[in-house]
Amino acid sequence: METIKLKIECQSCNGTGVFQGMAEKSGASVVCHTCKGTGCEDYRFTYTPFTKRKEKEGVKRVFITGYGYCVGTKPITLDNGIFVDFSKEGVSYEEFLSGKMPEHIKHMGCPMSADQGACHDIKGFTDVCNELNGGWLNYIPSCIISDKIKCWERFNRG
């Protein structure tokens, strides 16, 4: 553990050295009790320096996201009939520790649930989502498109 000592703007008085609350009327203020009128306070930040990524016990697989679903390590069939073999999706924890990052589970979640900002960056992408859903898609999980692969293909085309 290491500690950094910083001189920061007083958080109680916003660096003014004075405090004005409900009991101080007509332009009256009192000396700030936190900084004693200096406008600054000594702050100690204690932290553990990063040396390497730690291992987490019990982890078997790593996924980029859960797309609003619970993720696990065994095969399941979603309510919409999509089969997801979690034992083959994502990456093993050992692969992750070696630097391999998981890919999106494209038949499980759409690009909007994975990275909405990127979808908005593609001209017209969200407009098509809205059209396909009968006007305006205001809640991504309510999307009626069950074949998310087609959405990913559209996303990848840009």
Q: What is the overall mean pLDDT for the chain?
A: 91
Contact indicator for 52, 75 with CB cutoff of 8 Å: no
Place of tokens 């000396």: 31
> Is this structure's pTM higher than 0.75?
no
Specify the higher pLDDT residue, 113 or 57: 57
- What pLDDT, on the 0 to 100 scale, is given for residue 107? 82
Mean pLDDT of 14-27: 93
- What pLDDT, on the 0 to 100 scale, is given for residue 86? 94
- CA 4 vs. chain centroid, Å, equals 28
